[in-house]
Amino acid sequence: MRPVTIDLQSNPNLQFRIDCFSVPGASRPEFEAAMRRNLAFLETLPGFLGHVVYERTNAASTFDIITIAVWQSPEAIEAAGEKVRAHYQSIGFEMPSMLARWGVKAALGYYRAPSSLQ
């Protein structure tokens, strides 16, 4: 695990991929395995600075999992998106169909931290 430092004053161009998943307990082991595979790939990409995962138990058998990936710049996150899509295609991973099979609901997005709101 590499430490994640978010210093917006020194690095105002940091970009974030923040994904929120509602994961049924029965699907969690398979979901986590896919998440770890994805992280191992992300760690090989230029501009990737780190990753943090949060979880919250939403109900007795459902977990909310939030992942935050930190990227060096808009260019780095854009290039990473292209490489991730190509990687998924090469391994036969189709995220929408897998999420549906697991019963996972997802909200996915790219974010920045505007200095005017800090």
Contact by Cβ (8 Å): 38, 67 = no
Cα(96)–Cα(106) distance, integer angstroms: 9
Cα(113)–Cα(118) distance, integer angstroms: 8
Would you write out the chain's pLDDT as a tens digit for each of its 118 residues? 677 888 899 999 999 999 999 999 999 999 999 999 999 999 999 999 999 999 998 777 889 999 999 999 999 999 999 999 999 999 999 999 999 999 999 999 999 999 889 8
Range 26-113: architecture per CATH: 2-Layer Sandwich (3.30)
Q: Which residue has the tokens 């994805």?
A: 38
Cα(26)–Cα(103) distance, integer angstroms: 9
Paired with 23 in beta bridges are 63
Q: Which residue has the tokens 């999420």?
A: 99
Cα(46)–Cα(80) distance, integer angstroms: 8
> Counting every residue, how long is the chain?
118
